[in-house]
Structure 1
Amino acid sequence: MPSYVTDANLNSYQLAFCGAVAGVVSRFVVAPLDVVKIRMQLQNHRTDFSFRNVGLHSETSIDNHPIKYSGVLRSLKTILKEEGIKGWYKGNIPAEYLYLSYSAIEFWTYKELESWIDIEDKEQKMPRVMKTFVSGMVAGSVATTATYPFDLLRTRFAVQGRTRLYTGVFQAMRSIYAMEGIQGFYPGIRPALIQIMPYMGLLFATYDGLAMAFKKMRDEGLVSTQYKATHDMLSGALSGIISKTAVYPIDVVRKRLQVQGPYLTNYVIQPTKYSSASWSQCMKLIAKQEGFKSLYKGLVPSLVKIAPANAVTFLVFEETKKLLVSL
């Protein structure tokens, strides 16, 4: 039985196209929040984890220096004042490449794997939630591995100061390869995969469950069918919030490892050096030096970002899917 994502009569390549369109649109919508989230993640201060971080208050580091990026609105204003509107979209070009290719590969892989499971499990013995979880987990892992260099570039562009180390995507790739070798494109890949497997599994499983619940209510006349788009958006937003919160500490570690390299002093934020620390050692160091709550730095802008991002992604995906079916 197809899941809510693959219920239309579309093949893997058509679903990949729907995913690519959805990825590009959602990325543009949430780009400024992504820049704020990354900069918060890279600051090495002790954190008073609170939803006050949405506001305009200031935090202070353990050595009493003011924290530059201490709230979503405050950080957006700081970036706008110092770097202009372009500062909100630093790293957006590689990020658009990332979201386009990632979403296309992800939905293609999801469709292929789900179809394979249906063929192998003809008697439908595997629970629906397990099928969607496994399909999402594998699809996310494949897409992450294939597009990880774009994620790395997105992060490094987002933390550049006025002195620009990287002036374009291809120049940045040449520079990283010359200075760090091929492995320079994959720092933090292990925590990325460890994070993405449960995240994408949870995302697809919870989205399928929520979307199917709304569909059942529409079929039974409990809610109007004219609100299907709203239901898809709510399902995407809630599934994103649940999944992101569950795996967020690993995302912080991944960002810290991504900005390790020969040009640390040129970033607008001075990242902590972790030398050859593994992802697990890095996580322990952050918890020890900055407090356990620091593993959730940037969670608020991340959730503020992830809700509309997934809402837009699944809305555009479903609407593009509907358009292709009608054609």
Structure 2
Amino acid sequence: MPSYISDSRLNSYEAAFCGATAGVVSRFFTAPFDVVKIRMQLQPHRTQFQLKHADPKTIKYTRIIPALKTILREEGIRGLYKGNLAAEYLYLLYNAVEFCAYREIELFIEKLDSQNQIPAAAKTFTSGMLAGSAATSITYPLDLLRTRFAMQGTHNQTEGIIGFYWGVWPTLMQIMPYMGLVFTTYDHIASTFKAARENGTLSPDHKPMHDMLSGALSGIVSKTVVYPMDVVRKRLQVQGPSRKHYVISAIPEYATRSWFKCMKLIAAQEGVSSLYKGLTVSLIKVAPAISMTFFVYEKTKDMVISWKS
């Protein structure tokens, strides 16, 4: 049985259109938080799990609101949208590929499992994992450029074609469980809401709110699980294969290390909690981002279906 996300009334192109629309809208509203998250992730200071705030005299970006104010004061409104043009293309293409691929992969798995022996959660997780991997592989160069532009450096760096895929392995290692969890968690929560609406426990008029809440919760759970991999990915992306013209010279050498060794090095030199630098701002961003993505996707899907009827 298809998941809550899929709809037999949509073809692959229509699913891609709905995904692209959702990606563009979601990105526009969350771009400033993404810039803050990246700035926090790439600060090489040692951290500890503690309640008191870091010293702003030695650490530039310590908390979300002050960081937003600092960027706004030093760089203007454009600073909060550094790399956003590349990111808009990224989100448009990424979500188009992802939702289209999800639909096709899920249909393929359904055909293979004609006897319904595979658990529904496993199908959703596998479909989300593979769809996220396909979308990431296609859009990775744009993601790398988005990260570089979000930083403050002004030096140019020539790395060749391979430079566009620097750090791709930790990205894929992160995105596979992440998107698998996002789609599985969303499907489970949204399906629960759907059942409650159908039996009269909840009002059908509140479906948009249910979809948004399902997306927010799925994003929070999934992002927290895979966040350390995201920190490693950003370090590798910004550094690139060479230290020449590196924009943050204080960060240790990671380029010749695997993503797992890089993670161990960060934990050893900066503390284990450094693997969660920027987590708060990331969750503040991811909750509305995933929520809005699925909300806009569902609304666009309903609109397309109404056009066809």
Matched, 1:21 2:1: no
Alpha-carbon offset, residue 122 of structure 1: 1.0
Q: 1:42 to 1:75 in 2, by over 3 A?
A: same
Amino acid in the other structure paired with 1:36: V
Amino acid in the other structure paired with 1:100: L
> Does the aligned pair in 2 maintain the 1:42–1:269 contact within 8 Å?
no
> Does the aligned pair in 2 maintain the 1:109–1:139 contact within 8 Å?
yes
Alpha-carbon offset, residue 7 of structure 1: 2.8
1:263 and 1:83 mapped to 2: Cα distance?
Answer: 26
Amino acid in the other structure paired with 1:204: F
Matched, 1:150 2:148: no
Corresponding residue of 1:106:
98
1:134 and 1:293 mapped to 2: Cα distance?
Answer: 30
Q: 1:154 to 1:76 in 2, by over 3 A?
A: same
2:152 and 2:246 mapped to 1: Cα distance?
Answer: 7
Q: 1:266 to 1:285 in 2, by over 3 A?
A: closer
Secondary structure of the corresponding residue to residue 239 of structure 2: coil
Corresponding residue of 2:81:
89
Equivalent of 2:122, from 104, 127, 130? 130
- Deviates most, 273-282 or 205-214: 273-282
Corresponding residue of 1:37:
37
- Deviates most, 18-27 or 267-276: 267-276
Corresponding residue of 1:80:
72
CA deviations on 1:98-119 (whole Å, 9 max, x unpaired) are 1011000101110001011111
Q: 1:269 to 1:28 in 2, by over 3 A?
A: farther
Alpha-carbon offset, residue 124 of structure 1: 1.1
Alpha-carbon offset, residue 49 of structure 1: 3.6
Amino acid in the other structure paired with 1:88: L
Alpha-carbon offset, residue 58 of structure 1: 4.0
Equivalent of 1:203, from 182, 188, 212? 182
Alpha-carbon offset, residue 280 of structure 1: 1.1
With the length of structure 1 as denominator, give the TM-score of the two structures.
Answer: 0.90
Q: Over the residues paired in the alignment, what is the CA RMSD in angstroms?
A: 1.7
Matched, 1:184 2:163: yes
Alpha-carbon offset, residue 241 of structure 1: 0.4
Alpha-carbon offset, residue 281 of structure 1: 1.1
Give ranges in structure 2 of 5+ residues lacking alignment: none
Identity over the aligned pairs, expressed in percent? 59
Matched, 1:317 2:309: no
> Does the aligned pair in 2 maintain the 1:160–1:266 contact within 8 Å?
no
Corresponding residue of 1:240:
219
With the length of structure 2 as denominator, give the TM-score of the two structures.
Answer: 0.95
Matched, 1:292 2:272: yes
Matched, 1:280 2:267: no
Aligned length: 306
CA deviations on 1:179-235 (whole Å, 9 max, x unpaired) are 211110111111101101100101000000000000000001111111100000000
Give ranges in structure 1 of 5+ residues lacking alignment: 167-175
Runs of 4+ in 1 over 4 A off after TM superposition: 262-266
1:51 and 1:32 mapped to 2: Cα distance?
Answer: 25
> Does the aligned pair in 2 maintain the 1:43–1:269 contact within 8 Å?
no
Alpha-carbon offset, residue 51 of structure 1: 7.1
1:8 and 1:77 mapped to 2: Cα distance?
Answer: 47
> Does the aligned pair in 2 maintain the 1:256–1:272 contact within 8 Å?
no
